[in-house]
Amino acid sequence: MSSLLKFSVWTTYILINSLLAFLTDLAQWPPKTRNFWSACITTTIGTIFTEFPLYVILFKVWMWFAIAIMDVWFSIPIVKSSLIQVFMLILDIFTMSILLYNFYNNYKTRQIILDQTREFERYGPELPSITSSKFWLCVMPPLHIPLNIKVFRDITYGTQEELRQVGKENEFYLKLDIYIPKYSQKKDPLPVMLFIHGGNWMSMDKLIPFPQPWYLSSNNWIVCSINYRLAPKNPYPACLIDCKRALRWIKKNIVSYGGDPNFVAVSGDSAGGHLAALMALTANDKLYQPGFEQIDTKVQACVGINGIYDVTNKHKAFNPEWFSLEICGKNPSNMSEDSIREMLENASPEVLVERKGNLNEEFVPFLIIHGDNDQLINIKSCREFVKTFRNSAPNSKLVSIELPGAHHGYHFVSSPRTHYSMIAMLRFLNWAYHTSLNNNK
Protein backbone atom coordinates (compact mmCIF):
# COMPACT_ATOMS: atom_id res chain seq x y z
CA MET A 1 0.00 0.00 0.00
CA SER A 2 1.39 3.39 -0.97
CA SER A 3 2.37 5.89 1.71
CA LEU A 4 -0.18 8.39 0.37
CA LEU A 5 -3.03 5.88 0.65
CA LYS A 6 -1.92 4.86 4.12
CA PHE A 7 -1.78 8.46 5.20
CA SER A 8 -5.25 9.11 3.70
CA VAL A 9 -6.74 6.15 5.57
CA TRP A 10 -5.08 7.22 8.79
CA THR A 11 -6.28 10.81 8.42
CA THR A 12 -9.83 9.66 7.69
CA TYR A 13 -9.79 7.43 10.77
CA ILE A 14 -8.55 10.25 12.99
CA LEU A 15 -11.23 12.64 11.67
CA ILE A 16 -14.08 10.13 12.01
CA ASN A 17 -12.96 9.09 15.47
CA SER A 18 -12.70 12.71 16.59
CA LEU A 19 -16.11 13.52 15.09
CA LEU A 20 -17.74 10.56 16.87
CA ALA A 21 -16.17 11.66 20.15
CA PHE A 22 -17.46 15.21 19.66
CA LEU A 23 -21.00 14.09 18.70
CA THR A 24 -21.14 11.62 21.58
CA ASP A 25 -20.16 14.40 23.97
CA LEU A 26 -22.72 16.76 22.38
CA ALA A 27 -25.47 14.16 22.76
CA GLN A 28 -24.64 13.59 26.41
CA TRP A 29 -24.24 17.24 27.45
CA PRO A 30 -26.05 19.38 24.85
CA PRO A 31 -25.47 23.12 25.26
CA LYS A 32 -28.37 25.14 26.61
CA THR A 33 -29.85 27.27 23.84
CA ARG A 34 -33.05 29.18 23.15
CA ASN A 35 -32.51 28.99 19.40
CA PHE A 36 -35.06 26.56 17.98
CA TRP A 37 -32.97 25.28 15.08
CA SER A 38 -29.86 24.75 17.22
CA ALA A 39 -31.98 22.78 19.64
CA CYS A 40 -33.38 20.72 16.74
CA ILE A 41 -29.86 19.84 15.59
CA THR A 42 -28.68 18.79 19.06
CA THR A 43 -31.93 16.86 19.55
CA THR A 44 -31.40 14.90 16.33
CA ILE A 45 -27.80 14.12 17.23
CA GLY A 46 -28.79 13.29 20.79
CA THR A 47 -31.55 10.94 19.67
CA ILE A 48 -29.18 8.98 17.41
CA PHE A 49 -26.42 8.62 19.99
CA THR A 50 -28.65 7.91 22.99
CA GLU A 51 -31.27 5.68 21.36
CA PHE A 52 -28.89 3.70 19.13
CA PRO A 53 -25.52 3.62 20.94
CA LEU A 54 -25.01 -0.01 19.91
CA TYR A 55 -25.02 0.99 16.23
CA VAL A 56 -22.28 3.55 16.88
CA ILE A 57 -20.29 1.00 18.90
CA LEU A 58 -20.56 -1.52 16.07
CA PHE A 59 -19.41 1.13 13.60
CA LYS A 60 -16.33 1.87 15.72
CA VAL A 61 -15.52 -1.84 16.03
CA TRP A 62 -15.86 -2.15 12.25
CA MET A 63 -13.38 0.70 11.82
CA TRP A 64 -10.88 -1.03 14.11
CA PHE A 65 -11.09 -4.23 12.10
CA ALA A 66 -10.85 -2.34 8.80
CA ILE A 67 -7.71 -0.58 9.97
CA ALA A 68 -6.21 -3.82 11.25
CA ILE A 69 -6.99 -5.73 8.05
CA MET A 70 -5.49 -3.01 5.88
CA ASP A 71 -2.39 -3.05 8.12
CA VAL A 72 -2.40 0.71 8.19
CA TRP A 73 -2.46 1.73 11.79
CA PHE A 74 0.95 0.69 13.02
CA SER A 75 2.66 0.93 9.64
CA ILE A 76 2.73 4.74 9.62
CA PRO A 77 5.66 6.21 11.55
CA ILE A 78 3.73 9.13 13.02
CA VAL A 79 1.10 6.78 14.47
CA LYS A 80 3.83 4.80 16.22
CA SER A 81 4.58 7.83 18.36
CA SER A 82 3.29 7.42 21.86
CA LEU A 83 1.47 10.78 21.78
CA ILE A 84 -0.79 9.79 18.86
CA GLN A 85 -1.44 6.36 20.34
CA VAL A 86 -2.38 7.80 23.72
CA PHE A 87 -4.61 10.44 22.12
CA MET A 88 -6.49 7.84 20.07
CA LEU A 89 -6.78 5.53 23.06
CA ILE A 90 -8.25 8.31 25.20
CA LEU A 91 -10.73 9.19 22.47
CA ASP A 92 -11.81 5.56 22.14
CA ILE A 93 -12.20 5.04 25.88
CA PHE A 94 -14.09 8.32 26.22
CA THR A 95 -16.46 7.61 23.33
CA MET A 96 -17.10 3.96 24.17
CA SER A 97 -17.69 4.76 27.85
CA ILE A 98 -20.37 7.33 27.04
CA LEU A 99 -22.00 5.06 24.45
CA LEU A 100 -22.15 2.18 26.93
CA TYR A 101 -23.54 4.56 29.56
CA ASN A 102 -26.21 5.67 27.06
CA PHE A 103 -27.15 2.04 26.48
CA TYR A 104 -27.31 1.52 30.26
CA ASN A 105 -29.59 4.57 30.59
CA ASN A 106 -31.77 3.19 27.80
CA TYR A 107 -32.08 -0.13 29.57
CA LYS A 108 -32.53 1.52 32.99
CA THR A 109 -35.88 2.76 31.68
CA ARG A 110 -37.13 -0.81 32.23
CA GLN A 111 -36.78 -0.55 36.01
CA ILE A 112 -38.33 2.93 36.06
CA ILE A 113 -41.35 1.67 34.10
CA LEU A 114 -41.61 -1.38 36.36
CA ASP A 115 -41.72 0.86 39.43
CA GLN A 116 -44.10 3.48 38.01
CA THR A 117 -46.61 1.06 36.46
CA ARG A 118 -46.57 -1.72 39.04
CA GLU A 119 -50.24 -1.19 39.86
CA PHE A 120 -51.10 -1.62 36.16
CA GLU A 121 -48.78 -4.54 35.34
CA ARG A 122 -51.59 -7.06 34.89
CA TYR A 123 -53.09 -4.83 32.17
CA GLY A 124 -50.19 -5.16 29.74
CA PRO A 125 -47.31 -7.33 28.57
CA GLU A 126 -44.11 -8.01 30.48
CA LEU A 127 -41.19 -5.68 30.01
CA PRO A 128 -38.58 -7.70 28.06
CA SER A 129 -35.21 -8.09 29.76
CA ILE A 130 -31.84 -7.85 28.08
CA THR A 131 -31.61 -11.64 27.97
CA SER A 132 -34.80 -12.09 25.95
CA SER A 133 -34.99 -12.36 22.17
CA LYS A 134 -37.89 -9.89 22.16
CA PHE A 135 -35.61 -7.21 23.59
CA TRP A 136 -33.10 -7.58 20.77
CA LEU A 137 -35.79 -7.71 18.11
CA CYS A 138 -36.93 -4.29 19.37
CA VAL A 139 -33.38 -2.89 19.55
CA MET A 140 -32.03 -3.71 16.12
CA PRO A 141 -34.60 -2.24 13.68
CA PRO A 142 -34.68 1.59 13.90
CA LEU A 143 -38.40 1.46 13.12
CA HIS A 144 -40.29 -1.69 14.02
CA ILE A 145 -43.63 -1.82 12.17
CA PRO A 146 -45.97 -4.70 13.10
CA LEU A 147 -47.47 -6.67 10.23
CA ASN A 148 -50.84 -7.28 11.84
CA ILE A 149 -52.10 -3.73 11.22
CA LYS A 150 -54.53 -2.33 8.68
CA VAL A 151 -54.53 1.40 7.94
CA PHE A 152 -57.29 3.54 6.43
CA ARG A 153 -55.73 6.75 5.09
CA ASP A 154 -56.95 10.31 4.63
CA ILE A 155 -60.48 10.15 5.99
CA THR A 156 -62.05 13.62 6.13
CA TYR A 157 -63.42 14.46 9.56
CA GLY A 158 -64.72 17.96 8.81
CA THR A 159 -68.27 18.62 7.63
CA GLN A 160 -68.92 20.08 4.19
CA GLU A 161 -69.70 23.42 5.78
CA GLU A 162 -66.44 23.37 7.75
CA LEU A 163 -64.45 22.46 4.64
CA ARG A 164 -66.04 25.39 2.86
CA GLN A 165 -65.18 27.70 5.77
CA VAL A 166 -61.52 26.71 6.00
CA GLY A 167 -61.01 26.85 2.22
CA LYS A 168 -59.55 24.37 -0.24
CA GLU A 169 -55.99 25.16 0.84
CA ASN A 170 -56.79 23.78 4.31
CA GLU A 171 -58.93 20.76 3.41
CA PHE A 172 -55.84 18.55 3.60
CA TYR A 173 -55.50 19.27 7.31
CA LEU A 174 -58.98 18.05 8.25
CA LYS A 175 -58.11 14.40 7.68
CA LEU A 176 -57.20 11.43 9.84
CA ASP A 177 -55.76 7.93 9.47
CA ILE A 178 -57.22 4.92 11.28
CA TYR A 179 -55.02 2.05 12.48
CA ILE A 180 -56.86 -1.16 13.36
CA PRO A 181 -55.63 -4.65 14.27
CA LYS A 182 -56.11 -7.16 11.43
CA TYR A 183 -56.60 -10.24 13.54
CA SER A 184 -58.18 -9.14 16.81
CA GLN A 185 -59.76 -12.03 18.72
CA LYS A 186 -62.03 -9.69 20.66
CA LYS A 187 -65.68 -9.58 19.71
CA ASP A 188 -66.46 -6.48 21.77
CA PRO A 189 -65.73 -2.98 20.41
CA LEU A 190 -62.13 -1.89 20.93
CA PRO A 191 -61.04 1.21 22.86
CA VAL A 192 -59.92 4.18 20.77
CA MET A 193 -56.90 6.46 20.89
CA LEU A 194 -56.85 9.90 19.22
CA PHE A 195 -53.21 10.68 18.48
CA ILE A 196 -52.05 14.28 17.84
CA HIS A 197 -48.67 14.86 16.17
CA GLY A 198 -46.24 17.50 17.36
CA GLY A 199 -44.20 19.97 15.34
CA ASN A 200 -44.15 23.27 17.22
CA TRP A 201 -47.82 23.86 16.23
CA MET A 202 -46.39 24.85 12.85
CA SER A 203 -45.21 21.73 11.02
CA MET A 204 -45.17 17.94 10.65
CA ASP A 205 -47.92 15.56 9.64
CA LYS A 206 -49.93 12.52 10.71
CA LEU A 207 -47.97 10.38 8.23
CA ILE A 208 -44.78 10.55 10.30
CA PRO A 209 -44.37 6.93 11.42
CA PHE A 210 -44.60 7.29 15.18
CA PRO A 211 -44.20 3.85 16.81
CA GLN A 212 -47.05 4.55 19.28
CA PRO A 213 -50.02 4.17 16.85
CA TRP A 214 -48.51 1.00 15.39
CA TYR A 215 -47.85 -0.50 18.80
CA LEU A 216 -51.25 0.31 20.31
CA SER A 217 -53.16 -0.92 17.28
CA SER A 218 -51.20 -4.19 17.34
CA ASN A 219 -52.43 -4.62 20.92
CA ASN A 220 -56.19 -4.38 20.36
CA TRP A 221 -56.59 -0.62 20.21
CA ILE A 222 -57.94 1.48 17.38
CA VAL A 223 -55.79 4.56 16.79
CA CYS A 224 -56.89 7.66 14.90
CA SER A 225 -53.88 9.81 13.96
CA ILE A 226 -55.05 13.25 12.91
CA ASN A 227 -53.90 16.31 11.03
CA TYR A 228 -54.93 19.80 12.10
CA ARG A 229 -54.50 23.29 10.72
CA LEU A 230 -51.07 24.74 11.43
CA ALA A 231 -49.90 28.13 12.64
CA PRO A 232 -49.06 30.83 11.77
CA LYS A 233 -51.38 30.66 8.77
CA ASN A 234 -54.12 29.30 11.00
CA PRO A 235 -53.65 30.88 14.44
CA TYR A 236 -54.41 29.07 17.66
CA PRO A 237 -57.04 27.91 18.68
CA ALA A 238 -57.69 26.58 15.14
CA CYS A 239 -55.59 23.49 15.96
CA LEU A 240 -57.56 22.77 19.13
CA ILE A 241 -60.88 23.27 17.35
CA ASP A 242 -59.79 20.77 14.68
CA CYS A 243 -58.82 18.22 17.34
CA LYS A 244 -62.32 18.48 18.77
CA ARG A 245 -63.80 18.14 15.28
CA ALA A 246 -61.84 14.93 14.87
CA LEU A 247 -63.13 13.69 18.23
CA ARG A 248 -66.68 14.46 17.13
CA TRP A 249 -66.16 12.38 13.97
CA ILE A 250 -64.64 9.51 15.95
CA LYS A 251 -67.53 9.33 18.41
CA LYS A 252 -70.02 9.30 15.57
CA ASN A 253 -68.27 6.94 13.12
CA ILE A 254 -65.68 4.77 14.86
CA VAL A 255 -68.17 2.01 15.61
CA SER A 256 -68.07 1.21 11.87
CA TYR A 257 -64.39 0.32 12.29
CA GLY A 258 -64.93 -1.79 15.40
CA GLY A 259 -64.22 0.97 17.92
CA ASP A 260 -65.94 1.87 21.17
CA PRO A 261 -67.16 5.50 20.99
CA ASN A 262 -67.70 5.47 24.75
CA PHE A 263 -63.97 5.27 25.43
CA VAL A 264 -61.70 7.62 23.52
CA ALA A 265 -58.30 8.44 25.00
CA VAL A 266 -56.18 11.28 23.65
CA SER A 267 -52.41 11.43 23.28
CA GLY A 268 -49.85 13.62 21.61
CA ASP A 269 -46.18 14.48 21.54
CA SER A 270 -44.58 17.89 22.00
CA ALA A 271 -47.12 20.48 20.74
CA GLY A 272 -49.48 17.52 20.34
CA GLY A 273 -49.00 16.79 24.05
CA HIS A 274 -50.08 20.36 24.77
CA LEU A 275 -53.20 19.92 22.61
CA ALA A 276 -53.94 16.51 24.14
CA ALA A 277 -53.88 18.02 27.64
CA LEU A 278 -56.14 20.87 26.51
CA MET A 279 -58.54 18.32 24.99
CA ALA A 280 -58.80 16.63 28.36
CA LEU A 281 -59.20 19.93 30.26
CA THR A 282 -61.59 21.84 27.97
CA ALA A 283 -64.26 19.20 27.39
CA ASN A 284 -67.53 20.71 26.13
CA ASP A 285 -66.10 24.23 26.19
CA LYS A 286 -68.25 26.01 23.61
CA LEU A 287 -65.45 28.46 22.83
CA TYR A 288 -63.58 25.67 21.03
CA GLN A 289 -66.63 24.02 19.44
CA PRO A 290 -68.00 26.57 16.96
CA GLY A 291 -70.95 25.06 15.16
CA PHE A 292 -71.02 21.92 17.28
CA GLU A 293 -71.47 23.36 20.74
CA GLN A 294 -73.88 20.62 21.85
CA ILE A 295 -71.56 17.72 20.96
CA ASP A 296 -69.97 15.87 23.87
CA THR A 297 -66.18 16.29 23.58
CA LYS A 298 -65.15 14.48 26.75
CA VAL A 299 -62.22 12.09 26.55
CA GLN A 300 -61.63 9.26 28.98
CA ALA A 301 -57.83 9.40 29.45
CA CYS A 302 -54.84 11.50 28.40
CA VAL A 303 -51.20 10.64 27.63
CA GLY A 304 -48.71 13.47 27.15
CA ILE A 305 -45.32 12.74 25.59
CA ASN A 306 -42.69 15.47 25.97
CA GLY A 307 -45.51 18.00 26.08
CA ILE A 308 -45.58 21.71 26.95
CA TYR A 309 -47.99 22.48 29.78
CA ASP A 310 -47.39 26.18 30.44
CA VAL A 311 -47.17 28.93 27.82
CA THR A 312 -47.26 31.84 30.29
CA ASN A 313 -43.56 31.50 31.22
CA LYS A 314 -44.60 31.11 34.82
CA HIS A 315 -41.56 28.89 35.42
CA LYS A 316 -39.10 30.68 33.10
CA ALA A 317 -39.12 27.77 30.65
CA PHE A 318 -41.03 29.16 27.67
CA ASN A 319 -41.24 32.20 25.39
CA PRO A 320 -44.79 33.61 25.70
CA GLU A 321 -44.12 36.48 23.27
CA TRP A 322 -43.24 34.00 20.52
CA PHE A 323 -46.35 31.93 21.26
CA SER A 324 -48.55 35.03 21.21
CA LEU A 325 -47.16 36.32 17.92
CA GLU A 326 -46.35 33.17 15.90
CA ILE A 327 -48.93 30.69 17.18
CA CYS A 328 -51.85 32.89 18.27
CA GLY A 329 -51.29 35.59 15.65
CA LYS A 330 -51.54 38.33 18.28
CA ASN A 331 -49.00 41.12 18.58
CA PRO A 332 -48.38 41.69 22.31
CA SER A 333 -47.53 45.35 21.63
CA ASN A 334 -51.10 45.90 20.40
CA MET A 335 -52.78 44.23 23.37
CA SER A 336 -53.25 45.09 27.01
CA GLU A 337 -51.37 43.08 29.62
CA ASP A 338 -54.66 41.66 30.93
CA SER A 339 -55.69 40.46 27.46
CA ILE A 340 -52.33 38.81 26.86
CA ARG A 341 -52.36 37.13 30.26
CA GLU A 342 -55.91 35.85 29.76
CA MET A 343 -55.08 34.46 26.31
CA LEU A 344 -51.96 32.65 27.54
CA GLU A 345 -53.59 31.33 30.70
CA ASN A 346 -56.50 29.89 28.71
CA ALA A 347 -53.96 28.05 26.54
CA SER A 348 -51.96 26.67 29.50
CA PRO A 349 -52.96 23.22 30.82
CA GLU A 350 -51.27 23.94 34.15
CA VAL A 351 -53.37 27.06 34.71
CA LEU A 352 -56.56 25.21 33.75
CA VAL A 353 -55.76 22.40 36.19
CA GLU A 354 -55.28 24.92 38.98
CA ARG A 355 -58.53 26.74 38.15
CA LYS A 356 -60.65 23.63 37.84
CA GLY A 357 -59.00 22.02 40.86
CA ASN A 358 -60.01 25.01 42.96
CA LEU A 359 -63.59 24.28 41.87
CA ASN A 360 -63.15 20.68 43.10
CA GLU A 361 -63.40 19.25 39.61
CA GLU A 362 -61.98 15.80 38.98
CA PHE A 363 -59.96 15.01 35.89
CA VAL A 364 -59.62 12.02 33.62
CA PRO A 365 -56.52 9.86 34.28
CA PHE A 366 -53.28 11.41 33.02
CA LEU A 367 -50.01 9.72 32.07
CA ILE A 368 -47.11 12.14 31.58
CA ILE A 369 -43.86 10.93 29.97
CA HIS A 370 -40.86 13.21 29.47
CA GLY A 371 -37.15 12.86 28.75
CA ASP A 372 -34.89 14.59 31.27
CA ASN A 373 -32.45 15.66 28.51
CA ASP A 374 -35.10 17.37 26.37
CA GLN A 375 -33.60 20.42 24.63
CA LEU A 376 -36.78 21.65 22.95
CA ILE A 377 -39.18 21.52 25.90
CA ASN A 378 -37.67 21.99 29.32
CA ILE A 379 -38.64 19.15 31.64
CA LYS A 380 -39.30 21.81 34.27
CA SER A 381 -42.64 22.48 32.55
CA CYS A 382 -43.58 18.83 33.00
CA ARG A 383 -42.50 18.70 36.64
CA GLU A 384 -44.41 21.85 37.56
CA PHE A 385 -47.54 20.60 35.80
CA VAL A 386 -47.34 17.33 37.74
CA LYS A 387 -46.87 19.21 41.00
CA THR A 388 -49.81 21.54 40.31
CA PHE A 389 -52.02 18.62 39.23
CA ARG A 390 -51.35 16.63 42.39
CA ASN A 391 -51.87 19.65 44.63
CA SER A 392 -55.04 20.83 42.87
CA ALA A 393 -56.67 17.46 42.18
CA PRO A 394 -55.41 14.94 44.76
CA ASN A 395 -58.31 12.59 43.99
CA SER A 396 -57.54 12.42 40.27
CA LYS A 397 -55.11 9.90 38.82
CA LEU A 398 -51.79 11.09 37.40
CA VAL A 399 -48.74 8.96 36.63
CA SER A 400 -45.49 10.74 35.78
CA ILE A 401 -42.50 8.99 34.20
CA GLU A 402 -39.17 10.73 33.64
CA LEU A 403 -36.82 8.96 31.24
CA PRO A 404 -33.12 9.39 32.11
CA GLY A 405 -30.97 10.60 29.22
CA ALA A 406 -33.88 10.82 26.76
CA HIS A 407 -33.94 13.66 24.24
CA HIS A 408 -37.04 15.23 22.73
CA GLY A 409 -37.12 12.86 19.75
CA TYR A 410 -36.63 9.52 21.54
CA HIS A 411 -40.19 8.38 20.73
CA PHE A 412 -39.67 8.64 16.95
CA VAL A 413 -37.71 5.40 16.87
CA SER A 414 -38.02 1.82 18.13
CA SER A 415 -35.32 1.86 20.78
CA PRO A 416 -35.56 -0.10 24.07
CA ARG A 417 -36.56 3.11 25.86
CA THR A 418 -39.35 3.79 23.37
CA HIS A 419 -40.58 0.21 23.58
CA TYR A 420 -40.67 0.30 27.38
CA SER A 421 -42.55 3.62 27.38
CA MET A 422 -45.09 2.17 24.93
CA ILE A 423 -45.68 -0.77 27.26
CA ALA A 424 -46.21 1.76 30.07
CA MET A 425 -48.73 3.58 27.87
CA LEU A 426 -50.52 0.35 27.00
CA ARG A 427 -50.71 -0.77 30.63
CA PHE A 428 -52.03 2.61 31.75
CA LEU A 429 -54.62 2.86 28.96
CA ASN A 430 -55.83 -0.71 29.44
CA TRP A 431 -56.24 0.02 33.15
CA ALA A 432 -58.18 3.22 32.40
CA TYR A 433 -60.40 1.34 29.94
CA HIS A 434 -61.21 -1.54 32.26
CA THR A 435 -61.79 0.88 35.15
CA SER A 436 -64.23 2.81 32.95
CA LEU A 437 -66.07 -0.38 31.99
CA ASN A 438 -66.39 -1.41 35.62
CA ASN A 439 -67.64 2.04 36.66
CA ASN A 440 -70.31 1.95 33.95
CA LYS A 441 -71.72 -1.42 34.95
Please state whether the peptide bond connecting residue 77 to the residue before it is cis, i.e. omega within 30 degrees of 0: no
Is 81 among the residues known to form the active site? Answer: no
Beta-sheet pairing, 366-371 with 398-403: parallel
Burial of 271 (0-12, 13-18, 19+ CB in 10 A): buried
302 and 267 Cβ atoms separated by less than 8 Å: yes
Distance, CA of 96 to CA of 106 (rounded, Å): 15
Other beta carbons less than 10 A from residue 205's beta carbon? 13
Nearest to 381 by CA among 366, 368, 395, 365: 368
Intra-chain end-to-end CA distance of the chain, in Å:
80
Q: Which of 270, 381, 400, 436 is catalytic?
A: 270
Asked if residue 350 lies in contact with residue 280, where contact means CB atoms within 8 angstroms, the answer is no
C-alpha dihedral, 308 to 309 to 315 to 317, nearest 10°: 10
- 299/355 Cα distance (integer angstroms): 19
Pure H helices in 176-236: 211-217
Active site residues: 270
